[in-house]
Amino acid sequence: MDLRPSPEQEQLIGAFASLYAKESPPERVRAAEPLGFDKAMWDRLLETGAVAMAVAEEAGGWGASLLDLELIAEQQGRAIAAAPVIEAQVAARLLSRLGVGVALDGRPLVTLALRPARDGVATLVPAGAVADEAVIAVGDRLLLVPLEGRRTPVENLGGQPLADVHIGDGAATVGTAGPELQTALDEWMVLTAGDDHLRRDQRDPAHHHRPSRPGPSPVKPSGTLSHHRGLG
């Protein structure tokens, strides 16, 4: 069995390696602290279609497989990039599977809470300090919660844009907290594993660690990305 990346995947790796080399040098990584978010780099990533590529073609995206996204996550980890690519991709894939319209250009920036809300609060939401909306499980429902005025950033040693989110009123129900949510959590775990592995290999003082993850079972990647737009 040939486990080497396909020529198309090699192109994907090269394109994102080049982008991160330009947009995430050590001085930019340090400048993004303590929040862990580089707005200019995020805008550049959106121009490349970083969110659109993660969504299935039948939902209007480019149809990247989980393996394709893992290859991108590895480049992100190697560059210690201060951008919530994984969170945005996983949330977009979840919403598309639920039949909810997804902003393929990544605006608004949507993230995903890893833990159900308790007593009206979702804690330690990844990218919650910088995202516009978050998908949060409340009981057996999935809500799309606007974050403006509802979040409290949480200081952390990893320099990640974590926040506690107060649910409040006015959030839209987008589905049920069932198998589709579990798939999203599995995908987040797989992708952040690749990101973290490369981050831990870095020896730069700006080195980060993400917070502890939930424990869903990993999913098996399949398929190959069929579009590359605006890269290189």
> pTM for the full model?
0.83
Domains of the chain in sequence order: 7-201 (1.10.540.10)
In the numeric block, which tokens belong to residue 194?
A: 């690749």
Q: Is 157 helix (H, G, I), strand (E, B) or coil?
A: coil
**What string of pLDDT tens digits covers the 232 residues of the chain?**
666 878 888 998 999 999 999 999 999 998 988 888 999 999 999 999 999 999 999 999 999 999 999 999 999 999 999 999 999 999 999 999 999 988 889 899 999 999 999 999 999 999 999 999 999 999 999 999 999 999 999 998 888 999 999 999 989 999 999 999 999 999 999 999 865 544 555 544 444 443 333 333 333 333 444 444 444 4
Distant-in-sequence, close-in-space partners of 185: CB < 8 Å, separation ≥ 6: 112, 114, 214, 216
pLDDT at 170: 86
Say which residue the tokens 């009123």 belong to. Answer: 169
pLDDT confidence of residue 1: 61
- d(CA 44, CA 30) in angstroms, rounded, equals 18
- SS3 label, residue 133: strand
